[in-house]
Chains A and B, each alone.
Chain A
Amino acid sequence: MNKNRKSRNFMQLSPGWNAFSNATAALFSLLCVFPFLFVVLISFTDEKTLATNGYRLIPEKWSVGAYSYVFETGDMLLKSYGVTILITVVGTLLSLFMISLYSYAISRKSFKYRRFFSLFAVFTMLFNGGMIPTYIIVTQVLGLKDSLWALIWPLAMNAFYIMILRTFYMTSVPDAIVESGKIDGAGEFKIFYRLVLPLSLPGLATIGLFSTLGYWNDWFNALLYIDDPNKVPLQSMLMRIENSMSFIQQNSANSSISLEVMQSLPQDTARMAMVVLATLPIIFAYPFFQRYFVSGLTIGSVKE
């Protein structure tokens, strides 16, 4: 212990440079968090003082009016929350199910077609039909327009996650365990969920969190496939509000329409309150996310 500390002292930065490094890192770190804090402050500002003062760091008058407004007229927000939670839960479970099976199979040396199915997955990372062909297939062949499945299926698989998890199985599930299961007479499925799954929980947790974050933050699929206002997830609802706002600003000459639309939209502070409420779950889950993301990054880098 003592020796360790000595060697660290020996290599340490001089106090001046250490202070400089601290200041630089602290400043950048603060810059990264600042916009969120700023939006929180705005959401607690009184609407009238905001209209005259603009967005201020220290509001002239504090108020929780925005939040009570959002909760009173919260139908839209509540519905979107529901949609987002639903697609996040169903989507994450579905993708864990499909990804773990697929990557387990192609990690097994005894599977004759493993090379074919590895390539079948990897090729999708290299070449894709693009946005419009995908749109055509999803709407015209699968008929998912305005269906919640259009928010779930497109994000359910991902070749990159498959490669990460395959590597994880290969490095942290010893062949001997699978063999011992076989000797005990267990079938392949039983071996998978009795022996392999428990061992691969850290890998699954990483993929699960990637996937959860992907679903929670997704708005692009809703932008493409969802018109029904009852099926709009959280991020997409915020997007819609933003779009109508800029639409009004760009067409303010057309005042008769815009006044009506304007009144139906949440006010400045209420919008920021919604942003805060949409972000809070991520802030709370953040410690988990951070830990598993860092380990996920290192899993990804120790490839076979």
Chain B
Amino acid sequence: MAGFLKNVMRNRVMLLMVLPGAAWFFFFSYMPLVGTIAAFKEYRFSRDGFWQSLINSENVGWRNFEFLFSTDAAYIITRNTLLYNIAFILIGLVFAVAMAITLSEIVNKRLAKVYQTGMFLPYFLSWVIVGYFVFSFLSMDKGLLNSILSQFGVSSIQWYNEPQYWPYILILVSLWKMVGYNSVVYLAAIMGIDRSLYEAAMIDGASKWQQIRNITIPLLKPIMIIMTLLAVGKIFYADFGLFYSVPRDSGTLYSVTNVIDTYVYRGLKTTGEIGMSTAAGLYQSVVGFVLVMISNYVVRRIDKDSALF
């Protein structure tokens, strides 16, 4: 004990430095872990604060989870979250790598930089802004898409009421926002490839296409695998803004736009099923934890430096 106090005194300045941040983590990351008890309660907000609310709320054991998994909801939100993320990861990977290779091969480097600047822009905009952008295309009566379709004699489509189009729309919008950002990562990796490899290949008479297939892509493989695995670790978490703001929270689209995060949000703010939504959130955290541990373990095996921890 005395030794501990001595250590604390010796490290007091450093401890003072971590104090504000540690306090933040305590309140905003560790206290909510206590709050997950709400998943096992019929939680009611009490005026007298958190502890009183906990005491006043009835214990229900695993009932919230039983309810959650007895409805379609759990299946639909899990399916949507997983399938969309898988699509984003795979299609995004192909496009980002293809775009990075294209940019790296362009002869005029100035122009390549200009293109890259344009591609990077969507990453900096909020989903609300993107939602407005999408609306300018998909608005039923004023949107660009319907007026183009009408040129071809196709009658107006109520985009925000037709679920069948939305998987494609959401994948397109997600690609639009993320490909530029991800291609920067791959472009940096390509720039790091030893030029003499290409020179040697040229001397052996390899075509550009063969060089890309046999030099660039194999050398990008480690970073592709790592980026993908890190994304797989987050596969149970959806991008809330994309699924909430872009479809304008349209109720008719829920079957294809409801993901775990939006479900939890609506449970809190609209339907008021606090217990069940907390249960869904806890389910997400637990499965997400397992996935991130597995993917991090695999990343560590491949390349220790790229692991999250």
Residues of B within 8 A of A298 (CB): 188
Q: Is the CB of B28 within 8 A of A50?
A: no
Residues of B within 8 A of A224 (CB): 268-269
Q: Is the CB of B107 within 8 A of A137?
A: no
Residues of A within 8 A of B50 (CB): 136-137, 140-141
Q: Is A66 an interface residue (CB 8 A)?
A: no
**Interface size counted on chain B using CB atoms at 8 A:** 108
Residue of A132, A154, A294, A297 near B278 (CB, 8 A) is A132
**In terms of DSSP, what is the predominant structure of the interface of chain B?**
helix
The smallest C-beta distance from B59 to any residue of chain A, in angstroms, reads 16
Residues of A within 8 A of B165 (CB): none
Residues of A within 8 A of B134 (CB): 35
Q: Is B29 an interface residue (CB 8 A)?
A: yes
The smallest C-beta distance from A217 to any residue of chain B, in angstroms, reads 4
Q: Is the CB of A54 within 8 A of B141?
A: yes
Q: Is A290 an interface residue (CB 8 A)?
A: yes
Q: Is A98 an interface residue (CB 8 A)?
A: yes
Residue of B21, B34, B202 near A162 (CB, 8 A) is B21
Residues of B within 8 A of A50 (CB): 142
The smallest C-beta distance from B166 to any residue of chain A, in angstroms, reads 15
Which A75-108 residues have C-beta < 8 A from chain B? 97-99, 101-102, 104-106, 108
Residues of A within 8 A of B122 (CB): 32
Q: Is B133 an interface residue (CB 8 A)?
A: yes
Q: Is the CB of B115 within 8 A of A188?
A: no
Q: Is A11 an interface residue (CB 8 A)?
A: yes
Q: Is B225 an interface residue (CB 8 A)?
A: no
The smallest C-beta distance from A162 to any residue of chain B, in angstroms, reads 7
Per the bound structure, the CA–CA distance linking A192 and B306 in Å amounts to 28
Per the bound structure, the CA–CA distance linking A182 and B122 in Å amounts to 47
12 A-B pairs (CB sep. < 8 Å): A21-B106, A29-B115, A35-B136, A39-B132, A102-B22, A105-B18, A121-B25, A132-B35, A132-B274, A219-B127, A219-B245, A278-B129
